């Protein structure tokens, strides 16, 4: 049984997709051992409590320095003895020492087709506003492993949606969110089933 922690800053709809997939057996061999947020008011913490998952708030605001926060976050993850960390809309940069310690065991979901519309400053509605402004005809979502930089780790899975003539950033965001749920569940399932392999520093999901 793999021990999985999910980190979330907001409402947690991607978290809910994972919870539902574990409950209905889509994701097997998995125990959700914690939900961690940097935001005490995040509805994701309520989702966790409603599903009997331990919930923790670890916020940079509660520490005298970023180093102190980083240490507290890593200490909690180590205490939980997790096999996988899922960043499901977690808006705090992961400490480099955590990235190293949990190499290829931290997965992020990003609301665009990396390497487009990603990196510093590209989060939440900022991504979708940039998509609309650019005039691209397609966007999507990406799951990837987390490395020392922002949105540069090995891509695991992507899916695509159209950008239509009457779209605004909100309609695009809604369309992308639907596929975020799908590919995040598929990615977590693949990890827990040991179906992710690497070739030339690229990640792939394989079926036996």
The reply to whether 110 belongs to the active site is yes
- If DSSP codes are grouped into helix, strand and coil, which group holds residue 75? helix
Q: Cis peptide leading into 14, omega within 30 of 0?
A: no
- Helix 169-192 to helix 13-23 angle (10° resolution) is 40
The string over 167-180, giving b where at least 16 C-beta atoms fall within 10 Å of a residue's C-beta and e elsewhere, is bebeebbebbbebb
According to DSSP, the β-strands at 84-87 and 106-110 are parallel
In three-state secondary structure terms, 20 is helix
Q: Of these residues, 110, 128, 144, 181, which one is catalytic?
A: 110
Enumerate residues 6+ apart whose C-beta is below 8 A from 55: 34, 35, 36, 37, 45, 48, 49
Distance between CA 173 and CA 89 in Å, rounded?
A: 13
> Catalytic site residues?
110
């Amino acid at each position: 049984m793999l021990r999985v922690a999910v980190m979330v800053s907001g409402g947690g709809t991607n978290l809910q997709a994972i919870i539902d997939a574990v409950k209905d057996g889509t994701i097997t061999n998995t125990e959700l051992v914690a939900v961690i947020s940097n935001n005490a008011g995040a509805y994701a913490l309520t989702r966790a409590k409603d599903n009997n998952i331990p919930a923790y708030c670890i916020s940079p605001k509660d520490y005298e320095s970023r180093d102190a926060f980083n240490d507290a976050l890593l200490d909690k993850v180590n205490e939980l003895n997790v096999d996988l960390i899922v960043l499901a809309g977690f808006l705090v940069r992961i400490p480099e020492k955590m990235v190293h310690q949990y190499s290829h065991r931290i997965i992020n979901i990003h609301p665009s087709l990396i390497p487009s519309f990603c990196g510093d400053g590209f989060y939440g509605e900022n991504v979708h506003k940039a998509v609309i402004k650019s005039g691209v005809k397609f966007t999507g979502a990406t799951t990837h492993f987390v490395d020392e930089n922002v949105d540069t780790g090995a891509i695991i899975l992507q899916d695509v949606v159209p950008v239509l003539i009457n779209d605004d950033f909100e309609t695009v965001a809604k369309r992308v969110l639907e596929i975020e749920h799908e590919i995040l569940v598929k990615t977590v399932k693949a990890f827990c089933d040991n179906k992710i392999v690497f070739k030339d520093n690229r990640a792939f999901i394989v079926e036996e």
